[in-house]
C-alpha cells in the first residue's frame, strides 16, 4: 500500500554529517540495503523510504536529534520494533527514521512499589522476563512480544490477550520520559499511584503514535505473579454461546479470568493447516472455539475452571472442552491462537480490521458483518477471532479461493466501509488496539467527535508547531 504525500526535500550532506556526529558513525545508517528493514514491515503492506536511519543510545542523543531536526524542519519517524500494523512506524515520504532499539536498559525494578522503569527499546518479552525474575508479573502480552518494544507498545496503546483482567498499555504506565519536538525532555517518570498535581501529561503521549513526542522511558506497573494458571480450549456452536460462557466465567472466577479468546472455525483451520507443529486440541471440529485462562495468586485455579465448564456443559452451552494438563500443552493451545495472523498469508490477500463493539453486540456484529462482506465480494472468507472478553475482534476477511490477490486488495476500502458502518451503528470503534497510523487516518475525522478532532489538532500544533513528528500519521 503506497501513501501519496508531498515530497520531502532531500537531506543535505552537511545535515547528515551533523546527525552522524550525534549518534556516531556506526549508528547513522545511509546504505540503502541496510535501511530496508526499517522502511518495510512484516505484512509487506507498506513500503517506505528514508535517506537516514539514526540509532541513538541515550535520551540525550534523542534530544539532540530533535533539536537539530526542529531547527532545520526535518521530519522524523520514531520506530520501535517495527511491528506496527497500520503504517505508523513507516517513513512513507523520505523522513529520517529514529530507531529506539538501542535504548534497551531496564533502569530500575522496585518490588516495594511494584514498578519497573524501562527504556523505550526494551523488548516486551525481556520486560516480562525481568518482572518474572523478581516474582512479579508484567501482564502485557501480544503475538509480537519477542520483537515489539515498550516504547512502541505505549505509543500505540497496545492491548493484547490479558487486557480483560489488566487493561491495555495505558493502564500499565505510571509515568513517562518523553523528548518533545524541540528537544526538551519531559520527565514524569513517577512511581506514584496517587499524584493529583494538575494535568495528566504522560497520557497525552500514550496512543499518540509518535506524533507529539518520542517516548524514551516508562515507569510500568507490576503485579503479583500468579501461583496457579489453568487454560481450557472449548468447542461450541456460536458466538452467542461463547458470550453465555463468558458470563458464567466472570460470575464464577471474577478477576481470576485473565483471557477469553473467541476463535472461528476458519481461523483455527488456517492455523492448523499452515502453522508449524499446530493442531486442534479437540478430536472433532466445532463452528466456534474459546481459549480461556484463569490465573490465581493462590494455589488453585483448576477448581473454578472445572466448575465453569461443568455448568456450561450442563446448560448445553459448551459441546466439548479440554484443560491443559501441562505447561507444554498450554503453550500449544496459545500457539494455535498466536499463529492465526501469519496463517492467513498462504490463503492470499487478507483485508484486516481491528475493531471493538460492546461485548453484548459481538454475536450480532459477526452475523451482520459476515453477511455484508460476502454480499459485497461473493466467496470472501471472514476469519474473525480475538478478545471477546473486552469486545475487541480482529475481523479479517480472506480473499475468495482462486481470486487475484491484487484485485482483491484493491477493494480494501470498500470492505472497510461495509464493516465500519456496522461497527459504528453498534457504538463501536474502528481501531481497538492497533492504532490509526495511515491505514485509518482518512476515516478518523468521519468517526471521531468533531470537537475531539479539533482538540487533537490543537495539541499537535502546540507540541509540534513545525509538524516534524511522524507527519501524516493519525491526523
260 and 181 inside one domain:
no
The 3-state secondary structure of the chain, one letter per residue: CCCCCCCCCCCCHHHHHHHHHHHCHHHEECCHHHHHHHHECCCCCCECCCCCEECCCCHHHHHHHHHHHHHHCCCEEEECCCCCCCCCCCCCCCCEEEECCCCCCEEEEECCCCEEEEECCCEHHHHHHHHHHCCEECCCCCCCCCCCEHHHHHHCCCCCCCHHHHCCHHHHEEEEEEEECCCCEEEECCCCCCCCCCCCCHHHHCCCCCCCEEEEEEEEECEECCCEEEEEEEEECCHHHHHHHHHHHHHHHHHHEEEEEEEEHHHHHHHHHHCCCCCCCCCCCCCEEEEEEEEECCCCCHHHHHHHHHHHHHCCCEEEEEECCCHHHHHHHHHHHHCHHHHCHHHCCEECCEEECCHHHHHHHHHHHHHHHHHHCCCCEEEEEEEHHHCEEEEEEECCCCCCHHHHHCCHHHHHHHHHHHHHHCCCECECCCCCCCCCCCCHHHHCCHHHHHHHHHHHHHHCCCCCECCCCCC
Q: Considering the domain boundaries, does residue 7 fall inside one?
A: no
> Could you read off the pLDDT of 365-420 as tens digits, one per residue?
999 999 999 999 999 999 999 999 999 999 999 999 999 999 999 999 999 999 99
Pairing of the two strands 106-110 and 115-119: antiparallel
Can you tell me which residue has the cell 516474582? Answer: 135
216 and 306 inside one domain:
no
250 and 363 inside one domain:
yes
Q: Considering the domain boundaries, does residue 440 fall inside one?
A: no
238 and 383 inside one domain:
yes
Q: Does pLDDT of 181 surpass 80?
A: yes
Domain boundary among 60, 81, 101: 101
Domain boundary among 45, 68, 101: 101
Q: What is the CATH number of the domain that holds 262?
A: 3.30.70.2190
404 and 288 inside one domain:
yes
411 and 298 inside one domain:
yes
Spatial CB neighbours of 389, under 8 Å, sequence gap ≥ 6: 163, 164, 246, 257, 259, 260, 261, 359
Q: What is the CATH number of the domain that holds 121?
A: 3.30.465.10
91 and 144 inside one domain:
no
Cell of 102: 538501542
- Virtual CA dihedral for 437, 442, 445, 446, nearest 10 degrees? -130
Burial, 247: exposed, middle or buried (Cβ in 10 Å; 0-12, 13-18, 19+)?
middle
Q: Considering the domain boundaries, does residue 37 fall inside one?
A: yes
Q: Does pLDDT of 466 surpass 90?
A: yes
User: Rounded to whole angstroms, how far apart are CA atoms 15 and 1?
Assistant: 30
119 and 239 inside one domain:
no
Residue 2's pLDDT is 47
State mean pLDDT over 315-333: 96
Residues in the chain: 475
Cell of 380: 470472501
Domain count, the chain: 3
Domain range for 141: 106-224
Closest CA to 400 of 409, 388, 392: 409
242 and 355 inside one domain:
yes
Q: Considering the domain boundaries, does residue 6 fall inside one?
A: no
User: How big is the chain by its Cα radius of gyration, in Å?
Assistant: 23
Residue 43's pLDDT is 76
125 and 212 inside one domain:
yes
217 and 169 inside one domain:
yes
Q: Considering the domain boundaries, does residue 313 fall inside one?
A: yes
Q: Does pLDDT of 46 surpass 90?
A: no
Can you tell me which residue has the cell 501480544? Answer: 142
> Could you read off the pLDDT of 91-147 as tens digits, one per residue?
999 999 999 999 999 999 999 999 999 999 999 999 999 999 999 999 999 888 999
Q: Does pLDDT of 50 surpass 90?
A: yes
- In the chain, what percentage of residues exceed pLDDT 90? 87
User: Rounded to whole angstroms, how far apart are CA atoms 297 and 122?
Assistant: 27
Sorting pLDDT into bands at 50, 70 and 90, what band is 251? very high
Residue 410's pLDDT is 95
Residue 6's pLDDT is 58
Q: Considering the domain boundaries, does residue 462 fall inside one?
A: no
Domain boundary among 76, 101, 126: 101
Q: Considering the domain boundaries, does residue 464 fall inside one?
A: no
- Predicted TM-score (pTM) of the model is 0.92
Sorting pLDDT into bands at 50, 70 and 90, what band is 42? confident
Note whether 388 and 260 are within 8 A (CB).
Answer: yes
Q: Considering the domain boundaries, does residue 432 fall inside one?
A: no
- Virtual CA dihedral for 294, 300, 306, 312, nearest 10 degrees? -50
Question: Which residues on neighbouring strands pair with residue 296, listed in sequence order?
Answer: 228
Spatial CB neighbours of 129, under 8 Å, sequence gap ≥ 6: none
119 and 89 inside one domain:
no
Q: What is the CATH number of the domain that holds 31?
A: 3.30.43.10
Residue 344's pLDDT is 92
Amino acid at each position: 500500500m503506497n501513501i501519496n504525500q508531498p515530497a520531502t526535500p532531500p537531506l543535505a550532506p552537511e545535515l547528515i554529517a551533523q546527525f552522524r556526529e550525534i549518534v556516531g558513525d556506526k549508528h547513522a545508517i545511509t546504505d540503502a540495503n541496510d535501511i530496508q528493514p526499517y522502511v518495510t514491515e512484516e505484512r509487506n503492506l507498506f513500503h517506505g523510504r528514508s535517506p537516514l536511519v539514526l540509532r541513538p543510545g541515550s535520551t540525550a542523543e534523542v534530544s539532540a536529534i530533535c533539536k537539530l531536526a526542529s531547527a532545520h524542519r526535518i521530519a522524523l519517524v520514531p520506530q520501535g520494533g517495527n511491528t506496527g500494523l497500520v503504517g505508523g512506524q513507516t517513513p512513507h515520504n523520505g523522513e529520517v527514521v529514529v530507531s529506539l532499539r538501542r535504548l534497551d536498559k531496564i533502569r530500575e525494578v522496585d518490588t516495594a512499589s511494584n514498578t519497573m522503569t524501562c527504556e523505550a527499546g526494551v523488548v516486551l518479552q525481556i520486560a516480562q522476563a525481568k518482572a518474572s525474575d523478581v516474582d512479579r508479573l508484567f501482564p502485557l502480552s501480544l503475538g509480537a512480544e519477542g520483537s515489539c518494544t515498550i516504547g512502541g507498545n505505549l505509543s500505540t496503546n497496545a492491548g493484547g490477550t490479558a487486557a480483560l483482567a489488566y487493561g491495555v498499555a495505558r493502564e500499565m504506565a505510571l509515568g513517562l520520559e518523553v523528548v518533545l519536538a524541540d528537544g526538551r525532555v519531559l520527565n514524569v517518570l513517577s512511581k506514584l499511584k496517587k499524584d493529583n498535581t494538575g494535568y495528566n501529561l504522560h497520557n497525552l503521549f500514550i496512543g499518540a503514535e509518535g506524533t507529539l513526542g518520542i517516548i524514551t522511558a516508562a515507569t510500568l506497573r507490576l503485579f503479583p505473579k500468579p501461583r496457579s494458571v489453568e487454560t481450557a480450549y472449548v468447542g461450541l456452536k456460536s458466538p452467542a454461546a461463547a458470550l453465555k460462557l463468558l458470563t458464567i466465567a466472570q460470575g464464577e472466577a471474577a478477576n481470576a479470568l485473565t483471557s477469553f479468546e473467541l476463535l472461528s472455525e476458519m481461523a483455527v483451520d488456517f492455523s492448523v493447516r499452515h502453522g508449524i507443529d499446530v493442531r486442534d486440541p479437540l478430536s472433532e471440529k466445532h463452528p466456534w472455539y474459546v481459549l480461556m485462562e484463569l490465573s490465581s495468586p493462590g494455589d488453585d485455579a483448576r477448581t473454578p475452571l472445572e466448575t465453569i465448564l461443568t455448568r456450561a456443559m450442563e446448560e448445553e452451552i459448551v459441546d466439548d472442552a479440554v484443560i491443559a494438563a501441562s505447561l507444554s500443552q498450554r503453550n500449544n493451545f496459545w500457539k494455535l491462537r498466536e499463529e492465526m495472523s501469519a496463517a492467513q498469508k498462504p490463503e492470499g490477500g487478507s483485508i484486516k480490521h481491528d475493531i471493538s463493539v460492546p461485548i453484548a453486540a459481538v454475536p450480532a456484529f459477526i452475523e451482520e458483518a459476515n453477511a455484508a462482506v460476502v454480499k459485497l465480494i461473493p466467496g470472501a472468507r471472514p476469519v474473525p477471532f480475538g478478545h471477546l472478553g473486552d469486545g475487541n475482534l480482529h475481523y479479517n476477511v480472506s480473499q475468495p479461493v482462486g481470486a487475484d490477490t491484487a484485485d482483491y486488495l484493491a477493494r480494501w476500502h470498500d470492505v472497510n466501509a461495509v464493516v465500519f458502518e456496522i461497527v459504528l451503528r453498534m457504538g463501536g470503534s474502528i481501531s481497538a488496539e492497533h492504532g490509526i497510523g495511515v491505514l485509518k487516518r482518512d476515516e478518523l475525522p468521519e468517526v471521531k467527535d468533531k470537537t475531539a478532532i479539533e482538540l487533537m489538532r490543537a495539541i499537535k500544533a502546540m507540541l509540534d508547531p513545525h509538524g516534524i513528528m511522524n507527519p501524516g500519521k493519525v491526523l
